[in-house]
Amino acid sequence: MKNKCLGAILLLLSFIAGCGQKAEPQKKATNTNEPIGKNKIYKGILNLGCDPGIQSAVTQEVEIFKYDHDSVEVNIRYQSEEELLRNFKQGDASTILLTRQLEETEIERFKEDTIYIRQLSVAYDAVAIIGHRQLDDSKLSMETLRSYLNPKGNSAVKVVFDRENKSVVSHVLQVLGYRNEVSKSVYATANAAEVINYVECHTDAIGFIPFNLLSDTDDERVKQLLKRVKILSLTTKNQQGELVRVSANQSDIATGDYPLTRTVNAITRFTYSDGLDWLFINFMSQSRGAKIFLKAGLIPARMPERQIIVNSEGLKTN
């Protein structure tokens, strides 16, 4: 009898314990571009395209982004502007980073293919003018640069670009007011490394390269490059119309006084939901991404906030 009662009690207790436990809900399949759970953990594949002129800074942005979102696989390709726009149109890249804003005519052409653009400026870069370490740049000005490119001129100074960074050529020609024809003293090399090699060996040449190749002065590679060539300064007018001496550096880019400054623009498709693309763009725009741009020597479009703690206690006096 005792054994039957004990068995009944154990059976009752096990039934009560089973009722107190809730069955674990089955996890639903999720869209790879949608946030999962209360902590908004994102998962999926992000295909990016980027102008090679800002590769150094963007590589750092991607590395830290992947560290923060280790469930996101990021594929990034550094390509010419023509390739970036073509891949974006075809859907091979869902976000691209150009060193300029899209023109209205380009936006309209995308609309014709039912592609609606969402774009945001995330940082400011520049085109740097470089020369031989012994080159005297004291008389270099915007007018001097224009004369070097003048097809009717007879300049003894050679101007060197690189074929890989056509966006650099386009930006310089646009700022200096040239379109198609330029001086026969303008040359093109295979890449930026050859531009550096050429001006290092010739005192009668200047070169144009992306500033980001030289902007991170903490990088040992950049330190070695700046021992071979120098960033040239030039005279131009500032925002107030005053003549100032400027060069490609963070200070002159931030004030807007350097005339060859350009915008790093993130471009993606317009959607009604914020997936991985907008997650990455927001990352670059917010405090952490802005600090990475600063560390890389560029200027973030939105400067990170700085918290300053001030001692509010009164000064002690005798």
Is residue 195, in this structure, part of any structural domain at all? yes
How many structural domains are present in the chain?
2
Pair 34, 275: CB distance under 8 Å? yes
- Summarised one tens digit per residue, pLDDT across range 266-290 is 999 998 777 899 999 999 999 999 9
pLDDT average, residue stretch 55-72: 95
Is residue 6, in this structure, part of any structural domain at all? no
Judgement on whether residues 56 and 171 belong to the same structural domain of the protein: no
Judgement on whether residues 156 and 237 belong to the same structural domain of the protein: yes
| 111 vs 34: CA distance, rounded Å | 26
Judgement on whether residues 111 and 80 belong to the same structural domain of the protein: yes
Judgement on whether residues 110 and 233 belong to the same structural domain of the protein: no
Judgement on whether residues 67 and 183 belong to the same structural domain of the protein: no
Domain extent at residue 154: 125-261
- Summarised one tens digit per residue, pLDDT across range 92-124 is 999 999 999 999 999 999 999 999 999 999 999
Judgement on whether residues 118 and 140 belong to the same structural domain of the protein: no
Is residue 224, in this structure, part of any structural domain at all? yes
| 168 vs 128: CA distance, rounded Å | 9
Is residue 26, in this structure, part of any structural domain at all? no
pLDDT average, residue stretch 154-180: 91
Output the domain CATH number for residue 59.
3.40.190.10
CB contact set of 259 (below 8 Å; sequence gap of 6+): 142, 175, 236, 246
Judgement on whether residues 132 and 247 belong to the same structural domain of the protein: yes
Is residue 82, in this structure, part of any structural domain at all? yes
| 163 vs 43: CA distance, rounded Å | 37
Pair 235, 142: CB distance under 8 Å? yes
Per-residue pLDDT band for 13 (boundaries 50, 70, 90) equals: very low
Judgement on whether residues 93 and 110 belong to the same structural domain of the protein: yes
Total-model pTM: 0.81
Q: Is a pLDDT exceeding 90 seen at residue 135? A: yes
pLDDT average, residue stretch 119-135: 96
Judgement on whether residues 111 and 230 belong to the same structural domain of the protein: no
Judgement on whether residues 224 and 154 belong to the same structural domain of the protein: yes
Judgement on whether residues 150 and 203 belong to the same structural domain of the protein: yes
Is residue 290, in this structure, part of any structural domain at all? yes
Task: Return the higher-pLDDT residue of 13 and 259.
Answer: 259
Q: Is a pLDDT exceeding 70 seen at residue 18? A: no
Judgement on whether residues 238 and 295 belong to the same structural domain of the protein: no
